[in-house]
A and B are shown apart, each in its own frame.
Chain A
Amino acid sequence: MRAFTYERASSVEAAAKAAASNPEAKFIAGGTNLLDLMKLEIETPTHLIDVNGLGLDKIEATPEGGLRIGALVRNTDLAAHETVRRDYGLLSRALVAGASGQLRNRATTAGNLLQRTRCPYFYDPNQPCNKRQPGSGCSAIGGFSRQHAVVGVSDACIATHPSDMAIAMRALDATVETVKADGSRRAIPIADFHRLPGDTPHIETVLERGEFITAVLLPSPVGGKHIYRKVRDRASYAFALVSIGAIIHPDGTGRVAVGGIAHKPWRVEAAEAELPKGARAAARGILADARPTEQNRFKVDLVERALGAVLSEARG
């Protein structure tokens, strides 16, 4: 790990300002992803701003009937929260489908959204990777790409976003609340928060330098059956090959976000109109622009079948 200086932030504004003034600074919250990457020198910040003491660990009701989830709420606490379990079951389910008990005790809500990909070529400093070293090429294209993205891909990158939680947030129409270095605030719809790789796969979100996530907001509950189905290589503690986060109403309408297939939580609102017709019709819309590799073509079928299982569970 490269040497770095360290400070405990005294306020959100001070944290944003400190990060904006030093392009090599990073915020640290749970640290479960950042420290992993720092040990491999994939992340090499020269300064860390510890934001754990900022009191952003509360879950509160909003005047609009939704929830305001502090950026530092740990995954365990969010999954176990009474209102989340009752009204946003999809979010609880997605959280407990991810990582391990130890990691969920540290990992935070904002940090979960900011996770980097688990593409093995991104993790291997000996291999070209446009995300780790822009312009060096993509080793996954033409390499071992079984785990990689099938939709929204570019010629520069076919990495996936690894988060389970973010899939639920996308289906729930969450909003990311931030503070910029100049003190101004903005609310970013989760649909716009993560970027597709394009020519700049190293830029993963729309956050500006120093911009700090303070909370994630959920709108009022929409009812329906909340189901998160994760397909992976082992029963627990593995990233998704494909995951389906769905809210299905008794009349067969609903919403679906898909994980494990793209650089961001994948949701195609137009395809949701097809849900009452069944998984095949809806999956066709969700994957309309799919560009799989030979090795991950199976994900196209897997999305349809996992969605079929979800719809049958919803009817059951």
Chain B
Amino acid sequence: MQDPIQLELSRRDLLISSAATVAVTGVAGSAAAQSAGKQMAYVTKVNFTVNGERRELDVDNRTTLLDALREHLHLTGTKKGCDHGQCGACTVMVDGRRINSCLTLAVMHDGDEVTTIEGLGQPGNLHPMQAAFVKHDGFQCGYCTPGQICSSVAVLEEIKANIPSHVTGDLNSPAQLTAAEVRERMSGNICRCGAYSNILDAISEVGGITA
């Protein structure tokens, strides 16, 4: 029988060796490439504002905005769910609009203003939507919650800005704040615990929908 300590060691070795692989890739990746007569790099400098604070990063071009927020800026409130734009857990606001931070590159956001769940409110100073999610129990495991809350805040703004949705009745009258509108507009945020009805209650309270 194999010694469990030996097994443990080999797992460590494996982890160390994968880390080394990542490091080597990183070195190779920082080399410049020649394209169209210009020197182009695999790493690009990007300046943006995150939750009101100016940040400057040198990132591998492949870094998504999501990974820049989580791995470089250690803002781990924004969650990585599917990493393919299907679940909405990574939703953040860029220049006031909600987007999937997993489907955009950090280098594409030079000069932009990013707001994450940490920027909406903090413990002791909750955003009204955060407080409403707590009050209405708008989650179970909580993994999708930062994305749900960012999306919820943006949904109310989108209705105010008269952006139509699939369930909008008349395109030529102002968009209405109704439960049906909220449900449709929140369809890009999946909650596998199924807290949808409580999420709707939270948004309804903040938006002022009377049931």
Contacts and interface: CB of A to CB of B under 8 A. Distances in A.
B88 A4 contact: no
Given A4-B61, A106-B100, A92 B171 contact: yes
Contact of B187 (A39, A50, A100): A100
Nearest to B63: A1
A6 B60 CA distance: 10
Given A5-B42, A21-B36, A92-B164, A35 B104 contact: yes
A85 B165 CA distance: 12
A288 interface: no
B84 A102 contact: no
A89 B171 contact: yes
A298 interface: no
A101 B108 contact: no
Interface stretch (B48-56, B121-129, B155-163): B155-163
A203 interface: no
A101 B155 contact: yes
B172 interface: yes
A205 B189 CA distance: 32
A117 to B, nearest CB: 15
Nearest to A99: B188
Contacts of B16: none
A52 interface: yes
Nearest to B100: A102
Q: Chain B's interface: helix, strand, loop or mixed, by majority?
A: mixed
A237 to B, nearest CB: 4
Interface residues of B, number: 50
Contacts of A237: 187-188
A3 B61 contact: yes
B163 A35 contact: no
B151 interface: yes
A47 B40 contact: yes
A251 B83 CA distance: 49
Interface in A90-145: 92-93, 96-97, 99-103, 105-106
B167 to A, nearest CB: 9
B206 to A, nearest CB: 17
Interface stretch (B6-14, B91-99, B138-146): B91-99
Which one of A52, A80, A101 has the highest number of Cβ atoms from chain B below 10 Å of its Cβ? A101
13 contacts: A3-B28, A6-B44, A21-B35, A32-B104, A35-B104, A79-B163, A79-B164, A85-B171, A101-B151, A102-B85, A102-B88, A102-B98, A236-B166
Given A25-B35, A101-B165, A102-B91, 11 more contacts: A3-B62, A4-B42, A6-B61, A7-B40, A31-B105, A32-B103, A35-B64, A47-B40, A48-B61, A80-B161, A100-B188
> Which 7 A-B pairs give the minimum distances between C-beta atoms?
A100-B188, A236-B187, A5-B40, A237-B187, A85-B171, A6-B61, A80-B163
Interface of B: 25, 28-29, 33, 35-36, 38, 40-42, 44, 60-62, 64, 83-85, 88, 91, 97-100, 103-105, 107-108, 110, 151, 154-155, 158, 161-166, 168, 171-172, 183-189
